[in-house]
Structure 1
């Protein structure tokens, strides 16, 4: 709607304020004192908090999915990995250790037809592999979240949430 679409009135009431339309080429003038009041409490700035939260959640979910390419996810699974590594270390210290003392390594050895020492070597190799990849994923995740926190517009937040999760192998 333009001013020419308005009825042949010289004024219009908007939010309780009468605006003079006599001179449509200039800003309408207010006939009430309220128009001269300051609106310093009014902020046209968009609240970026929910946008930042959504972007950070997206980054966290993508990081978790990327980790899932290398390890089985879950807190219980993480504890199993720690215990398997501990048991594998015991086998490397004493290759003749009683299999009952290293049940997780013994299970892998039996499952794959390996010796305890060979199963322990695989477990320790995978643990070392994770020590290389895990920090790369974590660095990318936290760097993206830092960029999201520093962004000042929705477009900047969206751009900050784009992460290259590919890892050279």
Structure 2
């Protein structure tokens, strides 16, 4: 199959798929079986051309894109970076405001436990809830929680650095292409943060 464009008033108004072996002339497409389709406009065959393309000399060209309002583009790109950063964070942590509060409270309990000479499990309810699951005792749970928290700080900081760097580069971009290029970056891999 091939694509043929129907041009009217120097603009592609429709595209048609025609079988291989069809003869495309300016005013008619003749199919392999001998049947024909006569144009109201002109038939063109330019690979990749689509509706809205414009006649330019002996070929078709894509229409000019409307001018981009740079401030609006930058705002959209920065919002997309923020959204992508959250998706990247969720590769390493569990989603949810309550879960984030739980992680933070567990890390706080683990830090407090480290300085407690005579810890009582009742003073560390979130850590105590993990005894027998994460580790066999309160100190073991606290050690795992602190290790996970430290690992999160590394990757979380690297994600934040990438997010803020991209947003600054978007802000500093002088044109739409540079702004889009600034928003096209790679997130850090685990272990690359330090």
TM-score bin, normalised by smaller chain: 0.5 to 0.7
Query: TM (normalized to structure 1)?
Result: 0.66
Of 142-151 and 78-87, deviating more is 78-87
Any stretches of 5+ residues in structure 2 without a counterpart? 1-8, 11-65
> 2:159 touches 2:188 (CA, 8 Å); kept in 1?
no
Q: Matches of 1:113 and 1:48 in 2, distance apart? A: 54
Q: Which residue of 2 aligns with 1:133?
A: 155
1:164 counterpart = 2:192: no
Counterparts of 1:165 and 1:113, CA distance in 2: 32
Q: Which has the higher contact order (CA 8 A, sep 6+)?
A: 1
C-alpha RMSD over aligned residues:
2.2
Please report the TM-score for the alignment, with normalisation by the length of structure 2: 0.59
Return closer, same or farther for 1:112/1:132 CA change in 2, 3 Å cut-off: closer
Between Structure 1 and Structure 2, the one with more strand by share is 2
Unpaired segments ≥5 residues, structure 1: 3-43
Q: Which residue of 2 aligns with 1:102?
A: 124
Alignment of 1:7-156 (within 5 A): 46-94=68-116, 96-156=118-178
More helix by share: 1
Write the distance in 2 (CA, Å) between the matches of 1:141 and 1:98. Answer: 41
Aligned equivalents of 2:114, 2:70: Cα separation in 1: 53
Distance 2:134 2:143 in 1: 13
